[in-house]
Structure 1
Amino acid sequence: MKKLWEIFIVFFKIGTFTIGGGYAMIPLIEKEVVDKRGWIDRKDFIELLALGQSAPGPIAVDTAVFVGYKLAGIWGSILAVLGSVLTAFIVMVVYAATYMGFKDNAIIQRVFLGIRPAIVALIAVPVLRIGKSSNITKKTIYIPILTVFLIVVLNMNPIYIIIISALGGLIYGIYKERAQVKGATK
C-alpha cells in the first residue's frame, strides 16, 4: 500500500509542476523513477517510453500506465495515471470556466509568450536523452534520419513508420537469431 501511495504522490507532483504537456513530463518522470528513486533502470525506462510513444493517447499518460504497471501492476497504473492527470484536470476545468474573460488580457498573453521557449526546451531534453540511450551507431544512424525525412518532407503518417519499424525489428531479430544458430552448428 505504501508503494502505491508513493507512485500516486510522485506522479501527482510531476503532473502538478509540469507545464507543457506530455513530452515536458518525460524528463521529470525519468528523473523521479530512474535517477532519484531507482525504481526502474534507464534501459527499461527507455523501453517503457517507446511503448508509451507507440500506444494511442498522450505520451505522459501512456508512460505513466506502463511505469505504474511495471512498479505495482494494475493499481500502479491506475494511481500513476490519476496522479499525473488530476491537477491538469482541475486546472483545465477552472481554466475553461474562466478563460473567455481573460483571453485578451495582455499579462496573460505575455505569460504564455514567455512559457513557450521553455516548453520547447523541455520537449527537447527527452529527445536528446532517448537518442543517447538508444544505441545509435554508424550502422543505424540512417533510421532516425530516414524517419525525420519521411515525416517532415514526405508527410508520412507516423503510424506507418511505427508499423514498418516494428516489422523491421522483428525481421532483423529473426535474421540475427538464425545467423547465430547457423554459426553455432558449424
Structure 2
Amino acid sequence: MIYIQLFLSFIQVGMFSIGGGYAAMPLIQSQVVQGHGWLTMSEFTDLITIAEMTPGPIAVNSATFVGIRIAGVPGAMVATFGCILPSCIIVSILAMIYYRYKNISALQNVLGTLRPAVVALIAAAGLSILQLVVFQENAMQLSNVNWLGLICFAAALFILRKWKWNPILVMALCGVCGLIAALL
C-alpha cells in the first residue's frame, strides 16, 4: 500500500511540476509534509538541502530521498519512477509536436505565457523556504527570528549578485558559518 501511495504522490509531482525542480518544491511539500505527513517541515528543509547538494534533478533526488526514508530501497525506486514517468511521456509527445509545428506562432505564444507561471512557482518555493529559515517556528514574530540564517541569506544573496561567486562555494561557506555557530 505504501508503494502505491509513494507512486501516486510522486506521479502527481512529476506531472504538475512544470518549470523544474524548484517549481516542484511546493508540490512535494504539499504531498510529503501536509498530505501524508511523511516528513516534518524541518525534515523537508533538510530534504531540500540534500536534494540540491547531490548530483541530479532536485525533484528526482527528493523523490529518492523520501522513498528511501519511507519504504527503503524499493520505496526509493517506486517514488523515483513515479516522479520521472510523466516527464518521459510528456517530453516525448511534446518533442514530436514541437518538431512538427515549431514554426507556428500560436505555439510560441503558449510557451511565452507559461514563463510567468514558472517564475511565480519558483518565487513561492523560495519565499516559503526563506520563511522557514528566518522564522524558526511558523509564528512570524521578532523573537523567533534566526539571525544567523538571516545574515547568511543576506550575505549569500549579496555575494551571488555582486561578485557572482560559485553557488557551491557560497553554500559551503554558509555551512561553515552554521558549523562554527553550532560549535560556539
* TM-score under structure 1 length normalisation: 0.86
- Unaligned residue ranges in structure 2 (runs of 5+): 136-144
How far 1:8 sits from its partner (Å)? 0.8
CA, structure 1 residues 170+142, in 2 after alignment: closer, same or farther (shift >3 Å)? closer
For 2:146 and 2:41, locate their aligned partners in 1 and report how far apart those are by CA, in whole Å.
Answer: 22
How far 1:118 sits from its partner (Å)? 0.6
Alignment of 1:39-50 (within 5 A): 39-50=38-49
- Unaligned residue ranges in structure 1 (runs of 5+): 176-186
SS in 2 for 1:38: coil
- Contact 2:22–2:58 (8 Å) recurs in 1: yes
For 1:143 and 1:159, locate their aligned partners in 2 and report how far apart those are by CA, in whole Å.
Answer: 14
Bigger Cα Rg: 1
Greater RCO (CA < 8 Å, at least 6 residues apart) = 1
Runs of 4+ in 1 over 6 A off after TM superposition: none
Out of 147, 157, 171, the position equivalent to 2:166 is: 157
Q: RMSD over aligned Cα, in angstroms?
A: 1.6
Look up the match of 1:139. 147
CA, structure 1 residues 69+135, in 2 after alignment: closer, same or farther (shift >3 Å)? farther
Identity of aligned residues (%): 33
Q: Can you list the C-alpha shifts for 1:98-138, whole angstroms capped at 9, x where unaligned?
A: 42222221111111111111111111111111111114537
Aligned length: 174
The one-letter code sitting in structure 2 at the alignment partner of 1:104 is N
SS in 2 for 1:39: coil
* TM-score under structure 2 length normalisation: 0.87
For 1:22 and 1:104, locate their aligned partners in 2 and report how far apart those are by CA, in whole Å.
Answer: 29
For 1:75 and 1:63, locate their aligned partners in 2 and report how far apart those are by CA, in whole Å.
Answer: 15
Q: Which range moved further: 42-51 or 129-138?
A: 129-138
